Amino acid sequence: MKDKVVIITGASSGIGKALAFEFGRHGSKVVLAARSFEQLKNIEESITSKGGTAVSVQCDVSKEQDCRHLVDKTMEAFGRIDVLVNNAGISMRALFQDVELDVLRKLMDINFWGTVYCTKFALPYLLHSHGSVVGVISIAGHIGMPARSGYSASKFAMHGFLKTLRVENLKTGLHVLIVSPGFTTSNIRKTALTATGKAQGETPRDESKMMSAETVAAKIYRAVIHRRRSLILTLVEGKLTVFFSKWLPGLVERASFRRLSREHDSPLQKAEVNHVAD
């Protein structure tokens, strides 16, 4: 990946930030995209101080023009695009019966439409370079994750979009990689939206027991190198969950409900109370 041009959305924290350092240390020219420009500049300076090449572009992926601007700035800086990593995303935690519809729209705008916009504008250049489109969808893009209806819906939509993009480009040389991390150490649970659209503010899970963002980034890097079709991370929460969801869906659904209902202040505890009351 030396001298390859890599765009990473959601690069200011978590998996995106780890990816920026991972590609950067292998000599890639990294384009950092996120809403927080100050955080991007700090990461950019850290990469360049070690001899790497990085450019920061402030970008809200839910806005079509921001995504077009991101691609334009990349072409101005480097004249090509080799990899687009659609990593920007936001989560939620609320029962569907309680959540405000604007929350679901926001998740679709960022997670799904952000992927569509960036891919649409980068595609001509990726086709020219026979490059890679990477989508970070999570295990929630394979199973219905309770109390995260909007999150799962947006990730399922990403999954379907990327699989279709792959089929349409079987003869063009475009590589499409669909990445499905399990629970990963990041701030996505802190910024997850509640039923009213406010940030949750704290994680309901033990972050120390999760796969690190750096480990995820290293695995994504290798998957891009080997032009893999999919990457499902973690054994129990990832590979086994996806496998058994195809053959024993009821078992997976019950296990998912039980596990997520044990989270601190889980909305699913309300669902259990309502069931008992009925």
Say how far apart CA 90 and CA 112 lie, in whole Å. 10
The reply to whether 151 belongs to the active site is yes
Reading the block at residue 111, the tokens are 């997670």
Q: Which of 117, 125, 151, 221 is catalytic?
A: 151
DSSP element (H, E) containing 232? strand 230-232
Residue 35, judged by CB atoms within 10 A of its CB (0-12, 13-18, 19+), counts as middle
Q: Please, what is the end-to-end C-alpha distance for the chain in angstroms?
A: 58
Q: 34 - beta bridge partners?
A: 58
Say how far apart CA 145 and CA 107 lie, in whole Å. 14
Say how far apart CA 84 and CA 103 lie, in whole Å. 26
Residue 60, judged by CB atoms within 10 A of its CB (0-12, 13-18, 19+), counts as middle
Q: Which residues are catalytic?
A: 151
